[in-house]
Structures are given as structure tokens and as C-alpha cells.
Amino acid sequence: MKSFTIYQDGDHRWVAFGQDPDKPEEIIDTNQFVVTSSDTGCLLDPGGAELFPDMVAALSREISVDTIQHLFLTHQDPDVSSAITLWDEVCADGMKIYISWMWKGFVKHFDNAARFVDVPDEGMDLNLGGGVTLRAMPAHYLHSPGNFSVYDPKAKILFTGDIGAALVPESEQGDIFVQNFDHHIQFMEPFHKRWMVSARARDAWVAMVRNLDVNILAPQHGLLFKGDDVQRFLDWFGNLEVGNGLSAYQQYT
Amino acid sequence: MAETTRVSGAGTHGRIDSRRIQHAAGELFTECLNVFNAFSNLNELSEDLRVLSLNAELAAGRAGDSGRAVRALTQYTRELVNRLNQARESIIKLNSETHRRNAAVLRDLHALRTLERTHRACEREEDCRETEEALNKAHERRRQEMADYVVALTTDLQNLSALNSTVAEVIAQSDSIATNMAVEAALAGSHEAEFRTVAETMRGYVEDLRNMVDSAAVPMKKAEERSRTLINLAGSGTRGQGTSHGEGGGKEEN
Ligand SMILES: [Fe+2]
Ligand SMILES: [Fe+2]
């Protein structure tokens, strides 16, 4: 699994992990993130159980797993949460696992002993120390009904989970950032049309993000958006017709 | 060898052979299910016995003085039926516990295999010592948890064996009640035929119960053998008794 340092200011770092050449073919490619500040690490959507061995190995190149004190799950999907039992076992004692209040009882099916922090609908702050605070912000219904984006105002990075996700063929991978936005649309459009549920939620989220100072928009699948591509993404997503799975009802109505 | 990894840590970790453990756990589980299946008619047989004792009591009432001894026997039969029902309830509980613990062993095995894969992935990295230590600790905790579940499974099996003995005792007592009933029938004059039918019906039920216990005996014995194998493979050390492998004659050197 490759790792990319996408931000560094002293011990305040964002590292993205992904584009794993050893990943089993049928498993969807994911990006995992770790944010560090003053010897404290926070994992964001650390990936499913199948990727756990390679992810731990890649992570250990960057930091020791026992400095991970926080693990944030944007939502409940298995590509996000299915390895929490294992993470809980290898990370720092007392590590906190954050997830929307509405998913806790479901994700506990993986590990009833895990300690979860309920994230309320309006979001919450996670203080990593060293003046770095991550802010969980609502992203409900995009696609999960209990879903969050995570904003780091100091690094100006917004981790968006499945929003901005793209299924990028291996031949197109290499850099972690989108190089040509228009060319990239083909890899994210089908995903957003189908997985994203609600135009109202999308409009609310886009309006919220436009009020933030974002230099990097980092999704959980595919490539990251940087600089002007962040605005390009918001413009594109803001005008997209979402929820196209509804057409499946037509034959029955 | 693919499934067998030395998780070295601080010298306290041995190998776990997850493939053999999974196989042994599967065999133990299968034999336990065979025992539970053997007992699947227990409810029906104890209900038959209860109904028979009620009918016999009515017949004894109709027989007046000459039915007094039979009435005493039917009351004793009902006590035996109660014991059978208690045994049945305990078997049902053990059945669900066995399923739960078997699932826990499989879950732990899966986690152990993933931790071992992770360890191998980390070994390819430089400067991974702290992570390897964390992995070793996690591995040891999991291995211990699995060993505890295996010990609990074995205790369940011992309890099941004790219940089998209880049922066998009830059968022996029911058999002697049936014999006494036949003796009383011979002395019951005009009620002889009625009481003899009760005694013969009861013998039939006793025979069915005996067949049930016999059919449980073979898988029970196999399950006991399998549980010993499993304990040896999984490391039988329970919490507080140290965690070194080899307790119970482990196969860690394979
Ligand atoms: Fe998702
Ligand atoms: Fe996802």
C-alpha cells in the first residue's frame, strides 16, 4: 500500500494511504488517512478487515500504532468499519472510536467490547493536541443517513468520506491528486449519481463547505482534489442529478 | 506452513496452528451437535411418560385399595419426569452455549489469522518493532481468549456428559418402576390387564430412552477426544494460570 504525505507543518501531518497494488481484485479501492499532532494520531476511515494487514504495515512506516488515540468512522459501511476490532486491539489502550450515534448499535455487531463515542447529528470537535482540532461536520444522506465529513481548519483539509469518491482504474492511478478534473468526472459520476441519495442534503452540504477554507478535499475512494479543483468539484456536485436508483421502481408503478 | 506463524514477541508467544485448530473445533462442534441431536426426542419421551403416569394414576384410583401401590409408583414416575424435564432444559441451554462458544472460537481464529498476516506484512517493513510488539500483545490476548472459550466448551461437554448420566439414572429407575408395576399388576385381580398394559408401555418408553442415551454415547466419547485435541492445540492456559503454550501437551512445535 502506498502512502502520501499531503500536509506537514512540524508534527502536524496528514498522510493518505491507498492505491494498494496487492489489494484483492474484487475489493473496492479505498483511501485511509491518519492525522497526527504532538504524538497523537487520529485514523479516519481506516479501511476494512481485508486491508488491515497492509494498512498496519504501511502505517507503521509513518508512526507507531500505539500513538493512535482516536479512530473516526464517517459512517457504517464495511469498507470503513469492518476492521475496528483489530484496530482496537493494536492501537493505544483506551483509543476512542467515533461514529454517528445512529450507527453505534449496528457497528457493535463487529465488536461489542469496543468503546464508541456517539457523534451527534450536528457534529463535534476532536482535539488532537498541539493546537490541532478536527471538526466532524454533517454529511447526512451522502450517502449514509448518519454520515460526517472531517475538517481540519489549520491544514485546510476536508476529509469527505464517500463524497468525491471515484472508481479510478489502476492505469489512471499514480499521483494521489486529480490532474485533469474534466477527465476525472467519468470515474466519479456513476458513483455519485447512484450512491448519493438526496439533492436537498447535497445542497446543504455544498453550501456548508463553500463557507469553509478548503485547500484539499480528500475522499475515501479515488483521487483527492486540490486548489481550484475543490471549487470545481463543488460546482459539479452541486448540479448533479443524484438518486438514480429510483428508476428501478418504474417497472412496478 | 502458510497458516503457521511464529509470533515471537518477548519470548512468551508460541505458534498457533490455526488450520488444525479450526479443523479440531469443527470436529468437536459436529460431535456436540450429534449428541444434541440424539437428545432431540427427550421432550416427546418425557411427555409420553408423564401422560402414562397420569393415566396409570386414574386407573389406580378406579382400582381403589388394590391400586394403592400403583398410585405410589405413578407419583414416583412423575418425579422422574420432572428430572427428565430439568435435564432437557439444561441440554437446550448447553446447546445454545455451545453454538455461541464455537462461533467465538471461529471469530478469534479469524482475528488471529489476520494478526499473523499483519505481522508478516510488518516484518517486511523496516523499523516496525513497536508495531510488532503491539501485534504480539494483541495476538496473545486473542489466543488467550480463544483458549478460554475452548476450556469453556470442554466444561460444557462435561456438563452434558453429567446430564447424560442423569438421564441414564432416570432410565434405570423407570425400568425398576415398570418391573414393580408388573408385579403389582399380577396382584391387582380384575385390574391386572390395565396395570400390565401400563407396565409394558412404560418398558417401551424405557427402551426408547435407553436407545437415546446409547446413541448419544458414541458422539459424546468422540467429542471428549476432540476436546482434548483442541485444548492441546489451542493452549489450555486459563487466565491467571500463566499463558505459556504447552499446557495440556500443546503442539506448538509443529
Ligand atoms: Fe459508504
Ligand atoms: Fe466507501
Cα B75 to middle of ligand 1, angstroms: 65
Rounded to whole angstroms, the Cα distance separating B120 from A221 reads 26
Mutate to test the interface with A, among B112, B135, B144 (most CBs of A within 10 A): B135
- Domain limits of chain B? 14-99+150-233
**A81 alpha carbon – ligand 1 mean position (Å):** 10
Confidence at residue B9, expressed as pLDDT on a 0 to 100 scale: 35
pLDDT for the residue B15: 55
DSSP A196: -
Return d(Cα B11, Cα B220) in angstroms, integer: 38
How far out from the chain centre does Cα B107 lie?
Answer: 21
The helix (run of H) or strand (run of E) holding residue B203 is: helix B192-234
Distance B133 CA to ligand 2 centre (A): 30
Asked if A91's CB is within 8 angstroms of B120's CB, the reply is no
Q: Whole-angstrom Cα distance, residue A93 to residue A112?
A: 16
Cβ contact A45:A100 at 8 Å: no
| Interchain proximity B134–A65, CB inside 8 Å | yes
Cβ distance of A85 and B115 shorter than 8 Å: no
Tell me: the pLDDT tens digits for A32-60?
Answer: 999 999 999 999 999 999 999 999 999 99
> Which residue from A173, A178, A186 is spatially nearest to A217, judged by alpha carbons?
A178
Residue type, A9: D
A56 touches chain B (CB under 8 A): yes
Query: Residue B8's pLDDT is what?
Result: 35
Task: Report yes or no: A8 at the B interface, CB cutoff 8 Å.
Answer: no
Nearest of A18, A44, A204 to residue A136 by alpha carbon: A44
Mean pLDDT by 10 residues, chain A (253 residues): 96 96 87 96 96 94 93 97 94 95 94 90 97 98 98 98 95 92 98 96 98 98 98 98 94 92
Ligand lying closest to the C-alpha of residue A146 = 1
The whole-angstrom distance between B17's CA and the closest CA on chain A is: 19
- CATH fold of B14-99+150-233, please? Helix Hairpins (1.10.287)
pLDDT single digits (tens) A225-240: 999 999 999 999 999 9
Mutation to test the B interface, candidates A50, A90, A109, most B Cβ within 10 Å: A90
Give the pLDDT confidence score for residue B127 in this predicted structure. Answer: 79
- Nearest CB among A53, A61, A66 relative to B117 is that of A53
Which chain B residue shows the shortest CA-CA distance from A91?
B134
Count of C-beta atoms within a 10 Å radius of residue B10 = 9
pLDDT at B241: 35
Q: Which domains does chain A have, with CATH numbers?
A: 2-242 (3.60.15.10)
Tell me the per-residue pLDDT of A63-85, one tens digit each, with 9 for 90 and over: 999 899 999 999 999 999 999 99
Query: pTM of the predicted model, to two decimals?
Result: 0.82
pLDDT tens for each residue of chain B, 254 residues long = 333 333 333 333 455 788 888 899 999 999 999 999 999 999 999 999 999 999 999 989 988 888 899 999 999 999 999 999 999 999 999 999 999 999 999 999 999 999 999 999 998 888 788 899 999 999 999 999 999 999 999 999 999 999 999 999 999 999 999 999 999 989 888 889 999 999 999 999 999 999 999 999 999 999 999 999 998 888 744 433 333 333 333 323 32
Supply the pLDDT for residue B3.
36
Measured between CA atoms, the residue of chain B closest to residue A48 is B114
Asked whether A88 and B155 are in contact (CB, 8 A), the reply is no
- β-strands A216-219, A157-161: how paired? parallel
Report how far ligand 1's centroid is from the alpha carbon of B91 (Å).
43
List the single residue in B114, B125, B138 with the smallest CB-CB distance to A60. B125
User: Do A90 and B134 make contact, defined as CB atoms within 8 angstroms?
Assistant: yes
Q: For residue A94, give Cα distances in angstroms to A89, A97, A114.
A: 10, 9, 9
Give burial (CB, 10 Å; 0-12/13-18/19+) of B116. Answer: buried
pLDDT at residue A24, rounded to an integer: 83
| Nearest-Cα residue of chain B relative to residue A56 | B118
User: What distances in angstroms separate CA A87 from CA A106, A111, B36, B142, one per listed residue?
Assistant: 18, 11, 38, 13
End-to-end alpha carbon distance in chain A: 47
B118 min Cα distance to partner chain A (Å): 4
The minimum CA-CA distance between B114 and chain A, rounded to whole Å, is 7
Three-state DSSP string of A132-193: EEEEEEECCCCCCCCCEEEEECCCCEEEEECCCCCCCCHHHCCCCECCCHHHHHHHHHHHHH
**Cβ-based contacts of A54 with chain B (< 8 Å):** 121
| Closest alpha carbon to A162 in A148, A152, A176 | A148
Find out whether B49 and B174 touch, Cβ atoms under 8 Å: yes
